[in-house]
Amino acid sequence: MIHSPGHPEAGFPVLSLNMGSSSLKFSFYLLRPQQETLRADGEVERIGLSDGRVRARRGGTVVEDREGDFSDHRDAIKTIFDILERLELPKPAAAGHRIVHGGPGHAAPARIDANLLGTLRRLVPFAPLHLPAGIQVIEAVAHHFPELPQVGCFDTAFHRGMPETAQRLPLGRGLWDEGVRRYGFHGLSYEYIISELGESSRGRVIIAHLGNGASMAAVRNREPMDTSMGFTPAGGFMMGTRSGDLDPGVITFLMTEKGYDAAALDSLLNRESGLLGVSGISPDMKTLMEKRSVDPHADLAVRMFCYQVRKQIGAYAAALGGLDTLVFTGGIGEHAAAVRSEICEGLDFLGIGIDRERNGRHEETISGSQSRCRVRVIPAKEDLMIARHTRSVVANG
């Protein structure tokens, strides 16, 4: 029997929407006081391209997997609504959105209204690949469910509590006043990890969110101290297709000597660099690990990635004054045991020791019994964090 959202047995049904520049992930949760149930989830990929794809799962079972053309994110959300209707799920009580950038003014989730939409439109230059599509999705949800409350969950909000020394860029004060600063991203992932750590989060914690996009956060007593991404998600250490931090002189050289304009630079730094640029093969870590024994470029890309992550751990241990817990999350962090092991090589001076068998089995704790620093693997659940925030904002009016 399908209950209405108001029925006490139904809990609070929430539609979580996680928008990428060319993708849209969804999760449908029923939230009860002592139980959080994922009823359905899926994704629409390669939006705006000719070879798009939609997948949907219910209870872990694939119920839809087909190709399709999705001209924009409005098409994608309409497809998701059709899937939810076919699955006979209850109407959501609210929809929560991952908003990639909240600018300097948003340090907490917020109810989406006309004022917030206006703010997001003004913030488009801060995230031109993501915010226009995000606004499309918000408007499409409002068109389909005119009375449905919607909540914006900002991926930058977690880091707004960092000390000013970590947020500031070494530029003129006027640019700081105009919002040019280090924002950090993956904040929803970090929030979820902190909630899962419980009392362990009250120490000195480094969280490595390693996926196609990758970043790291230093946290002390549940408070953010520093993070690797900066003004945009292109900063920090190298990623799947993103360069990470560069000498600014490289940018001016490419502009003055090689004729790069803003569009060419954006393509180079965000789509043609990182693991893909170094290997010349693929941005996918699994593919590179399979080929590194026969392809020196693949091997170099993997070694550079592990070196840069290892170096960042050392820097953040210094910022925290030591290290009690190291957490791996994200696609690479959760599934690539060999990468985790290689990253941790040589970090015994920080008390980090990996148990090879535990690591190979992807156990929740992969550090050895003699390791002073506990090393853990925790799956990222940004969609659940969005659902929790959405319920909280709506419940508090």
Question: Which burial class, exposed, middle or buried, applies to 376 when counting CB atoms under 10 A from its CB (0-12, 13-18, 19+)?
Answer: buried
**3-state DSSP of 281-322:** CCCCHHHHHHHCCCCHHHHHHHHHHHHHHHHHHHHHHHHHCC
CB atoms within 10 A of CB 318: 12
**What would the pLDDT profile of 18-27 be if each residue is shown by its tens digit?**
988 788 999 9
Task: Please report the sign of the dihedral spanned by the C-alpha atoms of residue 59, residue 60, residue 61, residue 65.
Answer: positive
Q: What is the reported pLDDT for 223?
A: 97
Q: What is the reported pLDDT for 5?
A: 47
Which residues neighbour 262 within 8 Å (Cβ) at sequence distance 6 or greater? none
Tell me the average pLDDT across 252-260: 98
From the list 360, 308, 355, the residue with the least C-alpha distance to 338 is 360
- Compute the radius of gyration of the chain from its Cα atoms: 21
Residue 216 DSSP one-character state = E
Tell me the average pLDDT across 329-335: 97
Residue 220 DSSP one-character state = E
Q: How large a percentage of the chain has pLDDT more than 70?
A: 97
Q: What is the reported pLDDT for 397?
A: 77
User: Mean pLDDT score of the chain, rounded to an integer?
Assistant: 94
pLDDT score of 90 more than 50: yes
Q: What is the reported pLDDT for 10?
A: 58
CA pair distance 142, 122, nearest whole angstrom = 20
Take residue 58 and report the two structure tokens written for it: 């219910």
Looking at the annotation, which residues are catalytic?
155
The single residue listed with the structure tokens 């340090």 is 107
CA pair distance 362, 356, nearest whole angstrom = 10
**3-state DSSP of 159-180:** HHHCCHHHHCCCCCHHHHHCCC
**What would the pLDDT profile of 258-298 be if each residue is shown by its tens digit?**
999 999 999 999 999 999 999 999 999 999 999 999 999 99
pLDDT score of 9 more than 60: no
Q: What is the reported pLDDT for 127?
A: 87
Which residues neighbour 283 within 8 Å (Cβ) at sequence distance 6 or greater? 212, 239, 240, 241, 274, 275, 276
With contact defined as beta carbons under 8 Å apart, do 239 and 288 qualify?
no
With contact defined as beta carbons under 8 Å apart, do 80 and 24 qualify?
yes
**What would the pLDDT profile of 227-246 be if each residue is shown by its tens digit?**
999 999 999 999 999 999 99
Per-residue confidence at 1, pLDDT binned at 50, 70, 90? very low
CA pair distance 385, 337, nearest whole angstrom = 26
* Residues in a beta bridge with 42: 26, 56
SS3 of residue 155 by DSSP: coil
Question: Which burial class, exposed, middle or buried, applies to 77 when counting CB atoms under 10 A from its CB (0-12, 13-18, 19+)?
Answer: buried
Q: Name the amino acid, one letter, at 78.
A: K
Take residue 231 and report the two structure tokens written for it: 């003004």
Tell me the average pLDDT across 307-333: 98
What is the helix (H) or strand (E) element at residue 12, kind and residue range? Answer: strand 12-19
CA pair distance 349, 391, nearest whole angstrom = 43
**What would the pLDDT profile of 168-186 be if each residue is shown by its tens digit?**
999 999 999 999 999 999 9
pLDDT score of 192 more than 80: yes
Domains, the chain, with CATH or none: 12-154 (3.30.420.40), 198-377 (3.30.420.40)
More confident residue, 126 or 299: 299
Per-residue confidence at 48, pLDDT binned at 50, 70, 90? confident
CA pair distance 65, 188, nearest whole angstrom = 27
Q: What is the reported pLDDT for 239?
A: 97
Q: Name the amino acid, one letter, at 51.
A: D
